[in-house]
Each structure stands twice: as structure tokens, then as C-alpha cells.
Chain A
Amino acid sequence: MSDWKFMARQLVKNPLSLAGLIIIAIFVIVAIFAPLIAPTPEGHRDAYLIPRDGYSATPQPPSEEHIFGTTEGQYDIFYGVIWGTRSAFRVALVVMAITIVIGIALGSLAGYFGGLLDEVIMRITDIFLAFPALILAMAIVSAIGPSLKSVMIALCVVWWPSYARLIRGDILQLREEDYVEASRGLGASSGRVIVRHVLPNAIYPSLIMASLDIGAVVLSAAALSFLGLGSPEGYADWGQMTQFARNWIVGPHNEPLKYWYAVITPGLFILFFVLGWNLLGDAFRDILDPRLARR
């Protein structure tokens, strides 16, 4: 466990990862207290649908009523970005959890049993990795119909192969360890050896990798939403809110930056959310890289 203490100390000591931790903490607080920060108007049926103030297309600048202004279609930007934090966490956590479960299941089967099963599973990951991630995700979402759920499914399909590979690699090493040999010698079944002795030691690298990947997952989900392949219209989703601003990047001739608020705000939320995770991830990578760390 001293390794984990060492890691925690390093993360807090390094100003960049500390900044990352603080940013993530702020987003966690915003997500938890979203109903208090941006209360849902009474009688509104779904808290994740941004309340709108009229139907005019032109965005309205920040005012007392709408402190961040409204975007195309009079959706309240403040409400959208606050509740969008919850959407971002939801996508990230669901995708990562499913990815890890699939990755562990297939990776440990391949690594532990080896042989034909290993060969088949690894060739399947080859097939998935032969595509650029975003394009495969696009193809899947457009085939099963655009929605937030489709985005999550597509991202899981795109993401699991690298986890299966990582876990397989770890297990290949672990299965040669003396304590695994000993357990097998005592007559333990394969299932028991995997679950009790191999997996607990193989799971940490993938958990760490998952934390490094959260930024990338949120970025990809936002990109799909931006392309119009994500959540239904009016859903609190940063990618979609940026898409709303697309027609308003150029204002009237004498005031070219008139609609800046519609463009800047949702993008800043995506940037900071992803930045928080990436700052943390970068520090993790340094700590874990045996060639660089602890010199």
C-alpha cells in the first residue's frame, strides 16, 4: 500500500496535478449540487432538458434573468452548462465502467488460457483497432440511431479493445508468478485462480488507465454530439450547446463578435473538464513510468 501513499503524495506535491484535482473536485461539486445551483423551473418535466425562454433563433446576451445569456432557440446557457456537468460525468463513468468490465473479462480469458482463445480474442481486438476511433463510433451511432445511449454504446465498442490488451499483457506476466503456481498446485480451479489471485493484481493498471481516458471519452462524446449524432435537441449537453452556437460565430458587420457568449461558454466547460483529467493523467503517467519516476 505504500506505493499508493507515495502516489497520492506525488499528486498533491506536483502543482499541475494538484490543479487537476481541484478542477475535478469543483466539477464533482457542481454535478452534485446542480439542482441547487441551477434550480429546475416548476412544472418542467425533465431536469436534463434545458428550459427555454421563447423560440426566437437569435441568442440573447447575458442578463439578470439569464446570467450566461441564451443560445440559439433561447435555451438558457447557465442551466445547460451546469446540468451538462452531470451528463459529462454520466457518459464518462458509464463508458469507463462497461469498458473495464468487457476488457477484464476478455483480457483475462485471453491471457490466462492462451492458445486458440487468446489468438481469436486478440485478432478481434486487431479488427477494432484497425479503425480510427471517432469514425467507428460515428458509423455505429448512425447505424443504431443518434441518441445519448447510442453514443455511449459506440464509445464502449471503440474503447474496450485497448483495455482487453492491457489486461491480457498483465495477466500473461502474473500467471507465471509463484503464488499463482502455488494456488494451482493446491488444486484451485481456473476460475478461482483468476478471480482471487490474478485479477486483483491486474485490475489497478486498468483503473489508472481509465482515469487517464476520461478526458478523451468526454471529448469524443462531445464531438459526436457536436456533429448532431448525440443527445436529443435541448438536452443539457456541452457538445450540442456548442453546435447551437455554430451559426452565430460571425455577428453583424459592425459587431462581429456579438454572440461570443454562445460560443465561448459551453466550450470552456468542455475544455476545463477535460483539462482537469488530463492534468491528473499526465502526472500519473510520470509517476508510473519506471524509466522516469523516482530518479
Chain B
Amino acid sequence: MELRAYIIRRLLLLIPVLFGVTVFIFGITMLFSPGQRATLYVSSPQQMRDLPAVIEQYGLDRPFFIQYGTWIGQVFRGNLGWSTVVSMPVAKAILHYLPATLELAMLATPLIILIGIFFGTKAAAHKDKPLDHGTRVVAILGWSLPTFWLGLLLMMIFYGYFHGLFPPGRLSIQMESFVSSGEFIRYTRINTIDAILNLNGPVLVDALRHLVLPVITISTVNVAFIMRLMRSSMLESLGKGYILTARAKGLDERIVIGKHARRNALIPVITVSGYLFAGLAGGAVITETIFSFKGIGWWASQSALRLDIPSVLGFALFMAVLFVLVNLVVDILYTRVDPRVRLGQGVQ
């Protein structure tokens, strides 16, 4: 009961935020003149001469909120416009490119979190020892690395120097045509999962080979953050009275660290992990672009480059909804991890 009321209240609070988000997103497009926006509806040179008619037909010169109302009405009916970059409706494009991105996020997120927690804990347990300094330097280097440059370097080595060991793209050409043939059933469009469901080894191996470099690229940049967060959270937790008690009782240091300190230190990491997954699921724009890994981030960057406004808007809207929902899930998760946290109240 308590939980349901909380979720309903939070979902209601979403309405003003999403209203603001949509006004803002729509506002960005209104920076274009009606003539520029009219060209989006034009498909032939003949129509180009009739731009005023197009503006008239779609009401592109009407007041802001009337146009906004028309647009939001379309959005509610699931019509986000047409993506010229990939020649399909925007809503369909999001569904089409999402599985690839989810695949990347599903592999990278656990990897990032586990490595981050492991080294973060170690660093805190060995504060001011060489291990701590070492992980600190690695972390600072990690978040100073330009993602795109790291991706290029990895490709230079593992695609160039090792002659196509880990290629870009999602699947090699032969596998791609096999996968789209009738013999292979695409349950989820997530290649690795589909390959397992079809009990097809070669497709699985091929898909994984294409995933290695993007996953490494995303992980390197993000692991540093989790590692540092875990370290400082762990240090705080290690300074608490119950740790002193546990040690005074003569408990094994491994249990003190692993059970008493780490469990309490995990709370902030959970919040950030939620955002991490949402961020990755929304498309690691740069990583996908570099490796031509055709996920939602790749689509978004292509759209932005070719000024395909409906696509950029649709993507931004999708991201905003995703972030707001993840935020809610994280808050609910809190109560499961830390019984002291009550919904809507924070730690008492």
C-alpha cells in the first residue's frame, strides 16, 4: 500500500517535469524559421516552390503553444515524425536501434560495476598504500581519456595491427545476411541472446567479437567513476562505530570489510549505477559512432549531423523519459537495500 501510493505520487510528479521537457525540446525546433521547418515536409522540387502553402497547411507560422499542442497531440498518438536519416518513422527507429544499444549496456554495466566495486573496496582498505595510489592514478587517467580517441586507438591496434581481430559493426557481412534469413529467428534483435536461443555458436562468437572493443571503450571511461565513488563511500563507512565494534570483537578483517563496511558503502553506488545504465541504454553516442555499432546512439549522432530534427527530438524525449523512470526505480531500490530509508523521507 505504502509503496503503491508512493509510486503513484512520483508518477504524478513526472507530469510537470515531462511537460517542461517537451516544451523545452519543442522550443529548440522553434529556433528554425517556418520556412526551414517546412522543408522537412517537402519531397519534390515542385513542392519546394510552394513552401508558403506547406507552411499554411501544417500551421508552421501559428503561435508557439498552438503548434506545441498539435505536436504533443501527435506524440501522444505515438507519432514522433519521420526520420530521414534511416527512412522510417522515428518511433520505429527507436525500437529498431534500441536492442543493439541494450546489448552493449547489458554487457558493459555489470562489468563496470563489479570492477569498480572490487577496486574501490581494495583502495579504501589500503588507504594511502601503493594500491590506493595506483588505482587513483588509473581512475584519473580513465576519466581524462577522450572516449573517441580511446576507441580509435583500440581499433588501430585490434582491427588494424592484428588484421581484423575485433572488427567494427555489429556482425560480419556473412553473418548479417544469415541472421536476416529465415533460418535464424530474431526473438529480441539482441544478437548474442538470439544466437543462444537459436543454439547457434558461430553467430554468438561473431557477435561477441564485435562487442569486445565497444565494451572495453565504454567500461574504461566509466569504471573510474564507480571506483572512486566506492572508495570514498567505503572510507566513510570504515570510519563508523560499528566497524570499530566489529574489529574490537576480533572479527576477521576480511569479514569486517566484506560484510560490515562494504554493504553499507554500496548505497551511493546503486544510485549511480542506475544512471549509468540509463546513460548507456540511451546510447553511448560516441562509442557507437566510432565502432559503427548501429544502436540508438549511432542513429542519434547521424541525425544530429544531418539536422534531422524529428529524430533528434524523438531521441531526446525518449532519453528524458528513460532518465526520469530510472530515477524512480533507483529510489524504490534504496528501500530494499537500506531498511533505514523510508519512501519519500530519506535516511532517518
How many residues of chain B get a CB closer than 8 Å to chain A's CBs? 56
CB <8 Å contact, A138 and B137: no
CB <8 Å contact, A267 and B152: yes
Scan B1-18; emit 1 where CB is below 8 A from any A CB, else 0: 000000000000000110
Query: Which A123-149 residues have C-beta < 8 A from chain B?
Result: 123-124, 126-128, 130-132, 134-136, 138-144
Query: Which B123-147 residues have C-beta < 8 A from chain A?
Result: 136-137, 140-141, 143-147
A219 CB → nearest B CB, Å:
6
Of B141, B146, B304, chain A has the most CB atoms within 10 Å of the CB of: B146
Q: Which residues of A contact B305 (CB under 8 A)?
A: 142, 227-229
CB within 8 Å for A138 and B144 given contacts A132-B279, A227-B286, A250-B159: no
Say whether A289 faces chain B, with CB atoms less than 8 Å apart.
yes
Query: Which A260-288 residues have C-beta < 8 A from chain B?
Result: 260, 263-264, 266-267, 270-271, 274-275, 278-279, 282
Q: Which residues of B contact A16 (CB under 8 A)?
A: 136-137, 140
Say whether A166 faces chain B, with CB atoms less than 8 Å apart.
no
Q: Which residues of A contact B323 (CB under 8 A)?
A: 130-132
CB within 8 Å for A139 and B152 given contacts A130-B17, A228-B305, A250-B160: no
CB <8 Å contact, B31 and A271: no
Contact of A143 among B32, B148, B278 (CB under 8 A): B32
Q: Which residues of B contact A275 (CB under 8 A)?
A: 140-141, 144
Select from chain B the residue with minimum beta-carbon distance to A259.
Answer: B156
CB <8 Å contact, B160 and A271: no
Say whether A294 faces chain B, with CB atoms less than 8 Å apart.
no
Query: Complex: how many Å from CA A124 to CA B290?
Result: 34
Query: Complex: how many Å from CA A246 to CA B289?
Result: 11
Query: Complex: how many Å from CA A104 to CA B334?
Result: 32
Q: Which residues of A contact B320 (CB under 8 A)?
A: 130-131
Q: Which residues of B contact A134 (CB under 8 A)?
A: 285-286
CB within 8 Å for A139 and B313 given contacts A123-B20, A271-B146, A291-B239: yes
CB <8 Å contact, B20 and A124: yes
Q: Which of B21-29, B47-55, B58-66, B86-94 contacts A (4 or more CB under 8 A)?
A: B21-29
Query: Complex: how many Å from CA A266 to CA B153?
Result: 12
CB <8 Å contact, A131 and B316: yes
Q: Which residues of B contact A257 (CB under 8 A)?
A: 156, 160-161
Say whether B309 faces chain A, with CB atoms less than 8 Å apart.
yes
Say whether B324 faces chain A, with CB atoms less than 8 Å apart.
yes
Q: Is the interface of B mostly helix, strand, loop or mixed?
A: helix
Say whether A223 faces chain B, with CB atoms less than 8 Å apart.
yes
Say whether A79 faces chain B, with CB atoms less than 8 Å apart.
no
CB within 8 Å for A271 and B145 given contacts A135-B316, A250-B155, A282-B136: yes
CB <8 Å contact, B31 and A245: no
CB within 8 Å for A267 and B285 given contacts A242-B152, A246-B152, A292-B235: no
Query: Complex: how many Å from CA A142 to CA B159?
Result: 31
A275 CB → nearest B CB, Å:
4
CB <8 Å contact, B160 and A256: yes
Q: 10 nearest interchain CB pairs?
A: A267-B149, A250-B160, A127-B20, A256-B160, A142-B304, A275-B144, A274-B144, A249-B156, A143-B28, A138-B304
Residues of chain A touching chain B, judged by Cβ–Cβ distance below 8 Å, are 16, 123-124, 126-128, 130-132, 134-136, 138-144, 215, 219, 222-223, 226-229, 239, 242, 245-246, 249-251, 256-257, 260, 263-264, 266-267, 270-271, 274-275, 278-279, 282, 289, 291-292
Residues of chain B touching chain A, judged by Cβ–Cβ distance below 8 Å, are 16-17, 20-21, 24-25, 28-29, 31-32, 136-137, 140-141, 143-149, 152-153, 155-156, 159-161, 163, 232, 235-236, 239, 278-279, 282-283, 285-286, 289-290, 300-301, 303-305, 307, 309, 312-313, 315-316, 319-320, 323-324
Known: A127-B21, A144-B31. 16 other contacts (CB 8 A): A16-B137, A130-B21, A132-B282, A138-B300, A143-B29, A143-B312, A223-B146, A227-B289, A228-B305, A242-B149, A249-B159, A250-B156, A275-B140, A278-B140, A291-B232, A292-B232
